[in-house]
Structure 1
Amino acid sequence: MAVTLDIARGNANAQTVSGIPVTAPAPAPASAADDRPTLIGLTRDELADAMGEIGVPEKQRRMRAAQLWHWLYVRGVSDFALMTNIAKDLRQQLDARFTIARPEIVSEQISVDGTRKWLFRFPPRGAGRPVEIETVYIPEEGRGTLCVSSQVGCTLTCTFCHTGTQKLVRNLTAEEILSQILMARDRLGDFPDAATPQGAVVPSEGRLVSNIVMMGMGEPLYNFENVKKALLIASDGDGLSLSKRRITLSTSGVVPEIARAGAEIGCMLAISLHAVNDDLRDVLVPINRKWRIRDLLDACRAYPGLSNAKRITFEYVMLKGVNDSDADARELVRLLKGIPAKINLIPFNPWPGSDYECSDWERIEQFADIVNRAGYASPIRTPRGRDIFAACGQLKSASERMRKKDREAVAAGA
């Protein structure tokens, strides 16, 4: 039974929802004690190998893998019993050996602006206890953007980011990354024959989850292999079929992995820049002490496929009296010269204990004018979901990694 967390305490307008609405079919949740391996997140070849494990003849394995792929990523089923073009005895074998269950929803919150935030719970997988992450859906006219997490916690300690106050617990698996997309589509009725919950704020036409941004909890390039595997499955034309131009990976500047992301994943790139000199960026984004701004921008200039049609997005949080002067704007333009880019200006989203304030709106607009006059698109991101702590930089869960001796004691008891 899902438990509702009072994250929206003190906000009379925010809605907190628990359980499964009657307008949407309930996806089968994963049992905490279920030790069956999952089929979600496997490549086609790995699915074929899994079919061999239950005795499917070699000549049939690729065909069965294709059937499973269709049911998982086109139809969105989470129960083998619903796979009607697979023989009943094979479905029973699959169910006995594997799982395709969804994670547990701990809570679902709906902002006054229609933004949704889910808290999902996953198995320990080395952390000693079950772990939780947050995922956010942002509905807009013509598109619906899902902000996906890649890690439980984060190692980067960016001082303006709430997630940075949570120590890294563990990386998410490819299955857990994909499950965030599957769960969002379940909850919104975005799979064939599914119903959208009554009153949900969603795009008026087209796919409800049309864009993916790896901008949730964690640094995606510190979990490269799992993120790569998940995004390649998400962009597969015979499955979830999300265009790589609608998938954006955001990094704080893990320079050695940037070229790999372009070559091996091929998605859009976003850079969390936030400062125009190394001294300030060392404070705001401490990874800068390892890879300086010059190194980061050199990697951006060499990003595979970079063009005016495939620009890099530079994210710049507006901090009052810290990085928001006219001189900062002019230096930003100078730094980005020659890079096909747009600059997203992000009004700082407050969180308990933060030392920063958001720049005044007039100051943000003046900053944007300077950047725009230099020829760069410089949209000011409208804060979404602030009332439920779902806005950029506000995500965090209560998960902590158990000490090694405690994890060993739990494992011994099990």
Structure 2
Amino acid sequence: MTLQTIKKSDNSKVLLGKSLAELTAWVEEHGQPAYRGKQLYQWLYQKGARSLLDISVFPKKWREEMADYPLGRSTIHYRSVAADATRKYLLRLGDGLIIEAVGIPTSKRLTVCVSSQVGCPMDCDFCATGKGGFTRNLKAYEIVDQVLTVQEDFQQRVSNVVFMGMGEPMANIDEVVAAVKSLNQDVGIGARSLTVSTVGIPGKIQQLAQHQLQIVLAVSLHASNQALREQLIPSAKKYTLDNLLDECRDYVQVTGRRVTFEYVLLAGVNDLSENARELVQCLKGFQAHVNLIPYNPISEVDYQRPDKRRIQAFTDILEEANIAVSVRYSRGLEADAACGQLRASKI
């Protein structure tokens, strides 16, 4: 098999995403001493090498011989910058497909919102990503690459990663778990600074719990009752709100970790006082935190963002019930980089 064939067809040969032990075995397999495994590891994860040619500590002749061996890095197809300094990236993968990643800077941290799939199969009614359909799952290295690309572009170390970009992470759980472990162990991002978000797929939250990761699990409810959830999230017809919450309780029991619940506020749809009171009943017994996300507009539907008075009234009801709650106004709105706005196009 030629290097060119490997590059196009065999994702297992990509170097990014491999552990130090795996990279050490790889360099030895290709005629280099074991200590070069650590050098390769450092150049991949700390220095962001995009080609073996970049790794100046390797012998020049060997670099040239191995120049076409795939590291697994994407290229920036398009980048936009919002007024709040949030950067949205369209990244071209090895097979030519496009995904989005978002870099969100603050004074103290740099958060990267990563995609886990090309497109999304969940088709939530208020979200732009699902409107474009689903193409394929991402490999773990393609997820890790997003973080390294944003880190390189900002010239700043990434402190937090949220799996809230394109796709449903639990529909790609094996690769997502592998990416989480690599981001933690190889890139050096603390497990509790990694957040995996899901609208819920039967059995997948329990499967995630078995890995005993110290990550943050964020569950997207977006509705306070089953009928409303089915209206907003088509998959809810096969996975009821009660079943989802039961699985979340099991997750807490197995991991000892608190669950964060995400709730997009849609004016006149799910932001009424009665919805807030229903949500309180749903979350009884949880040591939970609720993130309220005022809706970010997309062109395909005519939902509206509630006004601040309605948002505050909803918040007050949760607080009176002693539920920890925060309102998250998404960054990057002007660049279509906010929550629910991601799609694989410039438009």
Q: Same fold (TM over 0.5)?
A: yes
Aligned Cα root-mean-square deviation (Å): 2.3
Gaps of 5+ in 1: 1-30, 125-129, 191-206, 400-414
Task: Show the counterpart of 1:213.
Answer: 162
2:229 maps to 1:291: no
* C-alpha displacement of 1:211: 0.6
Q: What does residue 270 of structure 2 align with?
A: 323
105, 112, 128: which is aligned to 1:162? 128
Q: Residue by residue, what CA displacement relative to the aligned partner does 1:110-146 show, whole Å, maximum 9, x if unpaired? A: 001111100111133xxxxx21011111122322211
Distance 1:212-1:170 versus aligned 2 partners, 3 A rule: same
Cα deviation, residue 231, structure 1: 1.2
**2:284 is matched with which residue?**
337
- Cα shift at 1:49: 4.2
Within 5 A, what are the aligned runs for 1:2-151? 35=8, 37-56=13-32, 60-61=33-34, 63-96=35-68, 98-100=69-71, 102-124=73-95, 130-151=96-117
Q: What whole-Å deviation, never above 9, does each CA across 1:222-273 have from its counterpart, x for those lacking one?
A: 111111111111000xx31101100000001013111222332612100010
Q: How many residues end up aligned between the 2 structures?
A: 338
Distance in 1 separating the partners of 2:105 and 2:324: 22
Whether contact under 8 Å (2:72, 2:142) holds in the other structure is: no
Query: For 1:190-223, what per-residue CA distance to the aligned partner results, in whole angstroms no more than 9, with x for missing partners?
Result: 2xxxxxxxxxxxxxxxx4x211000000001111
Match for 2:81: what amino acid?
I
Q: Select the residue among 229, 235, 249 that pairs with 2:184.
A: 235
Q: CA deviation at 1:101?
A: 5.9
Corresponding residue to 1:370 among 297, 313, 317 = 317
Return the letter of the residue paired with 2:16.
I
The one-character-per-residue Cα deviations of 1:318-348 (angstroms, maximum 9, x if unpaired) are 0111111111111111111111211000000
Q: Quick check: 1:273 aligned with 2:221?
A: yes
Preserved contact between residue 306 and residue 340 of structure 1 (Cα < 8 Å):
no
- Aligned mates of 1:319, 1:272 — CA distance in 2: 14
How far apart in 2 are the matches of 1:265 and 1:168? 29
Contact 1:228-1:265 within 8 A present in 2 as well: no
Higher helix share: 2
Residue identity opposite 2:161 in structure 1 = I
Residue aligning to 2:339: 392
1:255–1:101: structure 2 CA closer, same or farther, 3 Å change rule?
closer
Cα distance in 2 for residues equivalent to 1:88 and 1:340: 57
- CA 1:294–1:156 in 2, change beyond 3 Å: closer, same or farther? same
- The alpha-carbon deviation at position 93 of structure 1 amounts to 4.2
Structure 2 counterpart of 1:297, one-letter code: L
CA 1:374/1:168 → structure 2, altered by over 3 Å: closer, same or farther? same
- For 1:404, the equivalent position in structure 2 comes to none
CA distance in 2, matches of 1:242, 1:255: 29
Structure 1 CA distance for aligned equivalents of residues 72 and 239 of structure 2: 40
Amino acid at match of 2:155: G
In structure 1, the residue matched to 2:210 is 263
Q: Secondary structure at the match of 1:255?
A: coil
Identity %: 40
CA–CA separation in structure 2 for the residues paired with 1:188 and 1:366: 38
In the alignment, the residues of structure 2 paired with residue 45 and residue 335 of structure 1 have an alpha-carbon distance, to the nearest angstrom, of: 46
Q: CA deviation at 1:67?
A: 2.5
For 1:172-183, list aligned pairs within 5 A: 172-183=138-149
The letter for the 2-side match of 1:121 is R
Deviation at 1:311, TM superposition (A): 2.1
2:249 — aligned with what? 301
Does the CA contact (< 8 Å) of 2:73 and 2:142 recur in 1? no
Q: By how many angstroms is 1:48 displaced?
A: 3.8
TM-score, normalised with respect to structure 2: 0.90
- For 1:73 and 1:160, locate their aligned partners in 2 and report how far apart those are by CA, in whole Å: 36
Query: What amino acid is aligned across from residue 226 of structure 2 in structure 1?
Result: D
Mapped to 1, the partners of 2:47 and 2:302 lie a distance apart of 46
Aligned partner of 2:42: which letter?
Answer: H
Helix, strand or coil at the partner of 1:100: coil
Name the CA distance, whole Å, in 2 between partners of 1:180 and 1:55.
30
Are the equivalent residues in 2 in contact too, given 1:153–1:163 (CA < 8 A)? yes
Once residues 286 and 52 of structure 1 are traced to their aligned partners in structure 2, the CA distance between those partners, rounded to angstroms, is 50
Indicate if the aligned counterparts of 2:212 and 2:255 stay in contact, CA closer than 8 A: no
Quote the offset at 1:84 in angstroms: 4.2
Q: Which amino acid aligns with 1:285?
A: I
Instruction: Give how far 1:94 is off.
Output: 3.7
Change (3 A) 1:398 1:76: closer
| Residue 386 of structure 1, CA deviation | 1.2
